[in-house]
Structure 1
Amino acid sequence: MNIIVIGLGEVGRHLLSVLDKEGHDVVAVDASAKAVRYAEEHYDVASIVGYGASETVLKVAGVARADLVVAVTNHDEMNLIATLAAKQLGAKHVVARVQGTAWSEWTEGIRYGLLGVDVVINPRVLVAQALSRLARSYRASDVVDLAQARVELVQIELDESRALNKPLSAVELPPHTLVSAVV
Structure 2
Amino acid sequence: MKIIIAGAGEVGFHLAKLLSYESQEITLIDTDKDSLAYADNHLDIKVVRGDSTSIAILKESRVESSDLVIGVTSSETINITVCVLAKQLGAKRTIARISNTEFINHKDEVGFTKFGIDELISPEALAASEIELSLKQSSFDDNYEFEEGALTMAGLTLSKEAQFVGRTVKEAAQIFPEIHFVPIAIQRAGTQYTLIPRGDTIFKEGDTVVFITSEGGAEELCKLTGKIIREIKSVMILGGTQIGYKTARDLSDKGYNVKLLEQSKERAFEIADNLPNVLVINSDGRDVDILDEESISDMDAFIAVGNNSETNIMSCLVAKSKGVKKSIALVENMDYFELSHSIGIDTLINKKLLAANNIFRYIRKGEVVAMTKLNNMNAELLEFEVKSTSAIANKYIKNIDFPRSAIIGGVIRNGVGLIALGDFKIQEGDRVVVCCLLRSIKGVEKLFL
Identify the TM-score tier after normalising by the shorter chain. Answer: 0.7 to 0.9
Question: Mapping of 1:154-173 within 5 angstroms?
Answer: 155-157=218-220, 159=223
What letter corresponds to residue 62 of structure 2 in structure 1?
Answer: G
Once the 2 structures are TM-superposed, how far is the Cα of residue 116 of structure 1 from its aligned partner? 3.2
The 1-side partners of 2:104 and 2:119 are apart by 15
Cα RMSD for the two superposed structures: 3.0
The 2-side partners of 1:125 and 1:139 are apart by 23
Cα 1:127–1:142, aligned 2, differ >3 Å: closer, same or farther? closer
The 2-side partners of 1:107 and 1:30 are apart by 25
SS of match in other structure, 2:47: strand
Query: Residue in 1 aligned with 2:36?
Result: 36
Question: Mapping of 1:77-156 within 5 angstroms?
Answer: 77-99=77-99, 103-105=100-102, 114=112, 115-139=115-139, 145-147=145-147, 149=148, 153=214, 155-156=218-219
Query: Residue in 2 aligned with 1:16?
Result: 16
- Matched-pair contact (CA < 8 Å) for 1:139–1:156: no
What letter corresponds to residue 22 of structure 1 in structure 2?
Answer: E
Deviations 1:54-108 (A, max 9, x none): 1110000010000011111000100000011001100001111112xxx144676
- Matched-pair contact (CA < 8 Å) for 1:66–1:90: yes
Deviations 1:124-153 (A, max 9, x none): 111111111111121369966343x37565
- Matched-pair contact (CA < 8 Å) for 1:107–1:125: no
Query: Residue in 2 aligned with 1:167?
Result: none
What letter corresponds to residue 136 of structure 1 in structure 2?
Answer: K
The 2-side partners of 1:8 and 1:144 are apart by 28
Once the 2 structures are TM-superposed, how far is the Cα of residue 43 of structure 1 from its aligned partner? 0.9
- Matched-pair contact (CA < 8 Å) for 2:5–2:27: yes
Query: Residue in 2 aligned with 1:27?
Result: 27
Q: Which has the higher contact order (CA 8 A, sep 6+)?
A: 1
Larger radius of gyration: 2
SS of match in other structure, 1:156: helix
- Matched-pair contact (CA < 8 Å) for 1:52–1:58: yes
**TM score, norm. by length of structure 2:** 0.32
SS of match in other structure, 1:139: coil
Structure 2: tracts of 5 or more residues without a match: 152-213, 230-253, 256-416, 418-449
Structure 1: tracts of 5 or more residues without a match: 163-173
How many residues end up aligned between the 2 structures? Answer: 160
Identical-residue share of aligned pairs (%): 30
What letter corresponds to residue 50 of structure 2 in structure 1?
Answer: G
**TM score, norm. by length of structure 1:** 0.75
Cα 1:104–1:32, aligned 2, differ >3 Å: closer, same or farther? same
The 1-side partners of 2:11 and 2:2 are apart by 19
The 2-side partners of 1:40 and 1:156 are apart by 49
Query: Residue in 2 aligned with 1:58?
Result: 58
What letter corresponds to residue 76 of structure 1 in structure 2?
Answer: E
What letter corresponds to residue 132 of structure 2 in structure 1?
Answer: S
Query: Residue in 1 aligned with 2:74?
Result: 74
SS of match in other structure, 1:73: coil
- Matched-pair contact (CA < 8 Å) for 1:84–1:117: yes
- Matched-pair contact (CA < 8 Å) for 1:32–1:49: yes
